[in-house]
Structure 1
Amino acid sequence: MERFGVHPALLDAAVHAVALIASEEDQEAARIPFAWSGVRLHGSGASVVRVRLARAGSDAVALEVADAAGRPVVSIESLALRPISAEQLQAARTSRYESLFQLDWQPVATPASVVAGGSWAFVGSDAGLGEAVVRAGGSYARYADVSALIGALDEGEAVPEMVVLSCPQHEGDDVVAGVRESLSAVLSSVQRWLGEERLFGSRLVVATCGAVATETGEDVADLVQAPVWGLLRSVQTENPGRFLLLDHDPDHGHGHGHGHGHVQELSAVAADAVVRAIATGEESQLAVRGGAVLVPRLSRVAKPAADVEASARLVSGGTVLVTGASGVLAGVVARHLVAEHGVEHLLLASRRGPDAPGAAELVAELEAAGASVTVAACDVADRGAVRELLASIPGEVPLRGVVHTAAVVDDGVVEGLSDERVRRVLAPKVDAVWHLHELTRDMGLEAFVLYSSVASTLGAGGQSSYAAANAFLDALAQHRHAQGLPAVSLAWGLWAQASGITQNLSQTDIARMARGGTTGLTTEEGLALFDTAHSVGRPHVMPVRMDLTSHQAHPEVPVPAMLRNLVRTPLRKAASGQSGAKQWRDRLLGASPEDREQLLLDLVRTSTATVLGHRDSGDIDLEGEFLEMGLDSLTAVELRNQLGSATGLRLSTTMVFDHPTPADLAVHLADELNALAVGSPGSPNPPGSPSPSTSPHAAESIAAGTHAVLAEIEKLRETLSLASLVNEDRSLALGRLEDVFNQFAKQDQDQGQEQDHSQASRGEGAEMSPSEGIDVLS
């Protein structure tokens, strides 16, 4: 209560009383609050209030809110009401589907022309992908773990372009322990990977088997590995372009065991397609099912053809258990269950039970609405405590529904996470929900509602452990659905109403979410979506208010793959085909040292303003310290990603501590780019300076360039193979290609590199002559 003048839930309850007056005027039309005027706060800290209503015109009311002693708390001179017709209500119900999303998996084309060779490394099982790499003309090596790979680099082994990490298998039956062990192993590998500068230009593919469901009725074969997807989706947002997720098909290929926890070797056709899909670099998440490669896309949940009533009751009777009951959202849904779903018996469980702040007031309100309410202190992560809680429910009002809202957050970038921090977040999600699932499986439940987060699907910087925990909820709901048990996981987006999960969000955090297209749901919208989600019959839905106009307004910025079915951007003209980041890199590398420094000052200032939510970059003091401006670990990651993308440099998340002002950081970037410009192709390196092939700052450009160049060569090959050229044009094209080849060969010699690049790209021992390189013209 102390954080608010008037607690939002208390004020919301007070405003509900307006319906008593509004309903007297027109029994047929509903009226909703529209405009407020003359609002004054007289006192704070009230936990119980009395409300006096008076008419303030034909379509307005005045409210006086006082505490239990009669002292004024809030006065509202006029709350204007607007009538809403049955047609508008129906339209509102339809519009609910605008903010309700589902995850679809669709096939992706993997053209045989894609260059999928190069050097690969496999950590753990390769599931048949190694042979596919060889068939594509590449090579691979195996390592026991990431540390062994790094040890090989220490001994002089070449840095692989692609590394595939097989998610460790859990052989036991203890799902909760398995989740912890799996996440611990993957987290350790990811942190080791991120800490190794030599791997900055490589990509890490984390492979699971049966960790996701690609269809509504599909089971999740391995619940233990499911949280890895939530973890890595958030890691991907913190480290764009460096990670890829792959889920093998547990039901096809050549198996090495039964059930979850055993890798299935892919068929040759599927393995070839996967290797090509990985090599394109266009998708960050892949799944293999029945030999097809699938990619995830968000879509809006379709309104059912039959007019299913979204307000159908959650349960037909009995008791509904609400966990995490001391939270704001738990209180909101408890009131809604009583008022709109007719629930008569509620069991509210939280760690502090009746001693939790606001518990007595919530019980009083619910009982006044006609419900029988029991409040219990229970740690739902404790299996024994959950068993006792369930046993306490009277037989005459048996448990019929569960709404699990309990959660804990412990935000931080992935490099700073520990097993202890991750387990703290897992406990009220993974442990608790698994106990509830097992202990209620035979109780004949009608509803099993899990409060998840959209972070588990879209990822969220700084919330890797939270996303992992919620990914388990999504997977469990899918598993229950496949088993014929009731379940829906609501992967909520941001709520406008402050809660225990969101109360520490700053305006910078909210601005960052808005840039990504997520804005806050009102309480009314959230409850409407709760009802709608219950009626659509899908085990996993995402109630999220999304504003996609920012993606549409900037077609030069690539749309996240997950949103491509939702965002339609105009085709870019060829003249403006370069991305904003590529244009920045070209300008910076082409500028003189003096001009480059000024460009970098502008870049740092603009990027800092963006991540802090300032509209005007002039608000950023170049000599001011980042930390005093409000940068934290999450905004530092976002700033690093923006500057790294624009400059092509490998930047540390600690850069704002190492270079504490925008001016300092700009100087640092200038020094790095000046060194890179000196070592760029065509420019000799000063004696003793690192060559472009060994400079850690050039590594990213070289690795990315390799894929881009090979892809362009293949595109040219296809174009030439389809071209119909007369002899004169053919000779002209042949001469141009020979010029390009000779120029490339000369550049190779000038840089003193002895490796034959064409030989490496083909994975063969034979040399390639100019005539071989243009055989497609024959």
Structure 2
Amino acid sequence: MACGDRYHVHRHNVTVDPADPDHFSRVLAACPAAKILYLLGLSPPAGQDVATRYLLEPLLTLVRAIATKKTGNTELYLITTGCQPVGNMPVNRPEQALLWGVARTLRLEHPEMNCRIIDIDPGDGHTPLSGLAFTALMRGIGEQCLHESAWRGNQCYVPALSVCPVFPLEGRQSTCAGNVTGFYLISGGLGAFGLRLAHWLIDRGMTNIALMGRGGAGETTRQAIAGLEQRGARISVYAADVADLTALENAVSHAEDAFGPLIGIIHGAGILRGGFLQQDSAATHYQVMRPKVEGAMNLHHITQRRQVAEFILISSASSVLGLSRYAGYAAANAYLDALAWRRRGSGLPALSIGFGPFSDAGLALSEPALMHSSRLPALTMSQGIHWLSRALCSGSAHVIAMAYDAPDPAHGIDKAHGAMDPSHTVTKAVGATDRATLDMAGPHLAAKVARSPASLSSSTPGQRAAQIVQYIRRQVAGLAGGDGEDFSDRRPLRDVGIDSLTGVELRNRLQRKFGIPLPVTLLWDYPTLAELTALILNRVQMTLSQGENHHE
């Protein structure tokens, strides 16, 4: 199947419009597929804007088509090449890491699609799929396929988190110390965390700082800048979009005229806007990705002619864990992580640090579900700055600073707090993960196996309803941290502590328990225990009836 501007079939080849879900639906109806391989990542066109749209638009349209198809026997494989760090082998295609952020979110929103992602060996960079890479791909999509893997040669690697080595801050010479001339640039510098980063730079000895933001400085921001200047800093403010290369070049040139050479960059620009993969358009996700992705690429571009001592990318834990309703945000941060690895492989400075939500500033303040998530407890800005300083001492290219409580040990990460270094660890055998690794694959729904409805087959409809209610109450209590018995079945579950994140987790658990497909918008469409129970009971009974008819 290839992308074009119209639907066309010629023998076994099909051309579809990547923006038309009906085209994908027609293909899936005519050719039911147990496994779908998404290979567009292997040969993206030149140009960051074009490549981003090329990678994501067909995938989002395909996801909508599969979700509409509502069959539980599809496995979706996303294939990338050269975008994951493995050993000493460099990352050479960081834009493809966008698909890793999407895949990790897709598994949270649609576990029934059994999404897996494989990064194959880029080889010489001239052939999209060499013979060795093709052989590895065929092994990767075999029966023992991992949720996430990278193949180099004939060896399989899996993602892992390890505790980041931490070195004492005392006695370490700051990069900023003694720099009388020169300046640091902070994109997103007019937000609360950007201003806190400016204080951190002053603490490290940097007194020349350029703050960049799209909207310019309001009264509150001007007061905060005055506080920076009272500490002896020289601050320049630029109302410019870091994703606009011309505007960025102009701002940097003006700052160079005032301060001297650019010696350090902190890229903190970003926006947070929620929407499910099944519902939002590629254009909506692109708007979220643009400041982070194009901004980072532009900053990387301007350093080709300027030697900087530090290149710090403010990323998010969502790049590794996924984030339901925020696929574009997770994808953009996955790109930042890959860009850091690419720069390191080219001998350039880079650190991508992924934070969990901040309780006292940042994008998450606009989303209550992120602020009160039992899965990802918030950090303070001071804690974030502390771990940023430690991360610089560690020498790692990509570090995550977060407090994390896994809702289910099956996620592979039990409990963690502090700085962790994501990497790829070799498996001992193909399909068997090293026990020392932490597989971050997320929930997986074996959609072909539906044991739970059968376990309810001997119960009456009334007994089934009671069993379903009891199970839901237990799960709500565990996810919301309260007493599952202490709320009315007519009360919206969001009122008892189930937010957008734990709501998706609840939906995934219900799918696994009862072996039935449920919409990602489950708690929006069926917000109370009574409505939820009625839906599940109806679908379980339909499944049981179909099973009985099949055996007759």
TM range (shorter): 0.7 to 0.9
Q: Matched residues in 2 for 1:331 and 1:385: separation?
A: 21
**Structure 2 counterpart of 1:203:** 75
Distance change (3 Å), C-alpha of 1:170 and 1:344 = same
1:526 to 375, 384, 387: 384
- Counterpart secondary structure, 2:51: helix
Distance change (3 Å), C-alpha of 1:176 and 1:313 = farther
Q: Matched residues in 2 for 1:543 and 1:632: separation?
A: 23
2:456 to 588, 597, 603: 588
Whether the aligned pair in 2 keeps the contact of 1:519 and 1:545 (CA below 8 Å) is yes
Q: Matched residues in 2 for 1:657 and 1:390: separation?
A: 46
- Counterpart secondary structure, 1:280: coil
Matched, 1:349 2:234: no
**Structure 1 counterpart of 2:29:** 154
Q: What displacement does 1:406 show?
A: 0.8
Q: Matched residues in 2 for 1:560 and 1:486: separation?
A: 31
Q: Matched residues in 2 for 1:511 and 1:632: separation?
A: 8
Q: Matched residues in 2 for 1:675 and 1:172: separation?
A: 47
Distance change (3 Å), C-alpha of 1:211 and 1:406 = same
Spell out, residue by residue over 1:664-714, the C-alpha distance to the aligned partner (whole angstroms, 9 max, x if none).
32123222222322343xx4x2xxxxx4xxxxxxxxxxxxxxxxxxxxxxx
AA partner of residue 560 (structure 1): G
- The alignment's TM-score, normalised by the length of structure 1, stands at 0.60
Spell out, residue by residue over 1:241-281, the C-alpha distance to the aligned partner (whole angstroms, 9 max, x if none).
521011111117xx8x35xxx333435753453233xx225
Matched, 1:381 2:243: yes
Spell out, residue by residue over 1:701-738, the C-alpha distance to the aligned partner (whole angstroms, 9 max, x if none).
xxxxxxxxxxxxxxxxxxxxxxxxxxxxxxxxxxxxxx
Spell out, residue by residue over 1:366-398, the C-alpha distance to the aligned partner (whole angstroms, 9 max, x if none).
121111111121111111110100111245631
- Counterpart secondary structure, 2:536: helix
Distance change (3 Å), C-alpha of 1:541 and 1:124 = farther
Q: Matched residues in 1 for 2:454 and 2:77: separation?
A: 29
**Structure 1 counterpart of 2:9:** none
**Structure 1 counterpart of 2:484:** 617
Q: Matched residues in 2 for 1:471 and 1:424: separation?
A: 16
**Structure 2 counterpart of 1:331:** 195
Matched, 1:301 2:148: no
AA partner of residue 275 (structure 1): I
Spell out, residue by residue over 1:74-131, the C-alpha distance to the aligned partner (whole angstroms, 9 max, x if none).
xxxxxxxxxxxxxxxxxxxxxxxxxxxxxxxxxxxxxxxxxxxxxxxxx569xxxxxx
Q: Matched residues in 2 for 1:293 and 1:212: separation?
A: 12
Q: What displacement does 1:642 show?
A: 2.0
Whether the aligned pair in 2 keeps the contact of 1:314 and 1:534 (CA below 8 Å) is no
Q: Matched residues in 1 for 2:353 and 2:109: separation?
A: 24
Higher relative contact order structure (alpha carbons within 8 Å, sequence separation ≥ 6): 2
Matched, 1:228 2:89: no
Whether the aligned pair in 2 keeps the contact of 1:381 and 1:431 (CA below 8 Å) is yes
Spell out, residue by residue over 1:510-566, the C-alpha distance to the aligned partner (whole angstroms, 9 max, x if none).
443x3x3x3222333222211111122222111222346x76xxxxx5243799747
Matched, 1:603 2:451: no
- How many residue pairs get aligned? The number is 507
AA partner of residue 389 (structure 2): D
Q: What displacement does 1:584 show?
A: 5.7
Give the structure with higher Rg (CA).
1
1:264 to 118, 127, 130: 130
Matched, 1:466 2:338: no
- Counterpart secondary structure, 2:518: coil
Spell out, residue by residue over 1:293-318, the C-alpha distance to the aligned partner (whole angstroms, 9 max, x if none).
111111111246xx675853133522
Matched, 1:280 2:144: yes
Q: What displacement does 1:636 show?
A: 4.2
Whether the aligned pair in 2 keeps the contact of 1:240 and 1:641 (CA below 8 Å) is yes
The 5 A counterparts of 1:91-110 are none
- Counterpart secondary structure, 1:337: helix
Q: What displacement does 1:359 show?
A: 2.2
Matched, 1:315 2:173: no
2:119 to 207, 223, 247: 247
**Structure 1 counterpart of 2:305:** 442
AA partner of residue 412 (structure 2): P
- Counterpart secondary structure, 1:392: helix
Spell out, residue by residue over 1:556-594, the C-alpha distance to the aligned partner (whole angstroms, 9 max, x if none).
x524379974779xxxxxxxxxxxx98965643443322
The 5 A counterparts of 1:763-774 are none
Distance change (3 Å), C-alpha of 1:357 and 1:411 = farther
Q: What displacement does 1:322 show?
A: 1.1
Distance change (3 Å), C-alpha of 1:448 and 1:168 = closer
2:40 to 156, 167, 190: 167
- Counterpart secondary structure, 2:485: helix
Whether the aligned pair in 1 keeps the contact of 2:454 and 2:544 (CA below 8 Å) is no
- Counterpart secondary structure, 2:111: coil
Q: What displacement does 1:174 show?
A: 1.4
Segments of 5+ residues of structure 2 without an aligned counterpart are 4-11, 416-434, 440-448
Distance change (3 Å), C-alpha of 1:267 and 1:668 = closer
Q: Matched residues in 2 for 1:562 and 1:445: separation?
A: 38
- The alignment's TM-score, normalised by the length of structure 2, stands at 0.83
Q: CA RMSD in A?
A: 3.0
Whether the aligned pair in 2 keeps the contact of 1:492 and 1:543 (CA below 8 Å) is yes
Q: Matched residues in 2 for 1:330 and 1:666: separation?
A: 46
Distance change (3 Å), C-alpha of 1:361 and 1:657 = closer
**Structure 2 counterpart of 1:545:** 403
AA partner of residue 89 (structure 2): E
The 5 A counterparts of 1:395-414 are 395=257, 397-414=260-277
2:515 to 643, 648, 661: 648
Spell out, residue by residue over 1:7-66, the C-alpha distance to the aligned partner (whole angstroms, 9 max, x if none).
xxxxxxxxxxxxxxxxxxxxxxxxxxxxxxxxxxxxxxxxxxxxxxxxxxxxxxxxxxxx
**Structure 2 counterpart of 1:677:** 544
Whether the aligned pair in 2 keeps the contact of 1:310 and 1:532 (CA below 8 Å) is no
Whether the aligned pair in 2 keeps the contact of 1:161 and 1:202 (CA below 8 Å) is yes
Distance change (3 Å), C-alpha of 1:393 and 1:177 = same
Q: Matched residues in 1 for 2:67 and 2:414: separation?
A: 24
Whether the aligned pair in 1 keeps the contact of 2:357 and 2:370 (CA below 8 Å) is no
Q: Matched residues in 2 for 1:474 and 1:343: separation?
A: 25
Distance change (3 Å), C-alpha of 1:144 and 1:610 = farther
Matched, 1:668 2:535: yes
AA partner of residue 241 (structure 2): D
Whether the aligned pair in 1 keeps the contact of 2:378 and 2:403 (CA below 8 Å) is yes
**Structure 2 counterpart of 1:45:** none
Segments of 5+ residues of structure 1 without an aligned counterpart are 1-122, 126-140, 552-556, 569-580, 686-690, 692-750, 753-778
- Counterpart secondary structure, 1:393: helix
Distance change (3 Å), C-alpha of 1:416 and 1:634 = farther
AA partner of residue 51 (structure 2): G
The 5 A counterparts of 1:630-649 are 634-649=501-516
Whether the aligned pair in 2 keeps the contact of 1:310 and 1:535 (CA below 8 Å) is no
Distance change (3 Å), C-alpha of 1:149 and 1:601 = same
Spell out, residue by residue over 1:321-352, the C-alpha distance to the aligned partner (whole angstroms, 9 max, x if none).
1111121111111111102x100111111122
- Counterpart secondary structure, 2:92: coil
Distance change (3 Å), C-alpha of 1:471 and 1:380 = same
**Structure 2 counterpart of 1:558:** 410
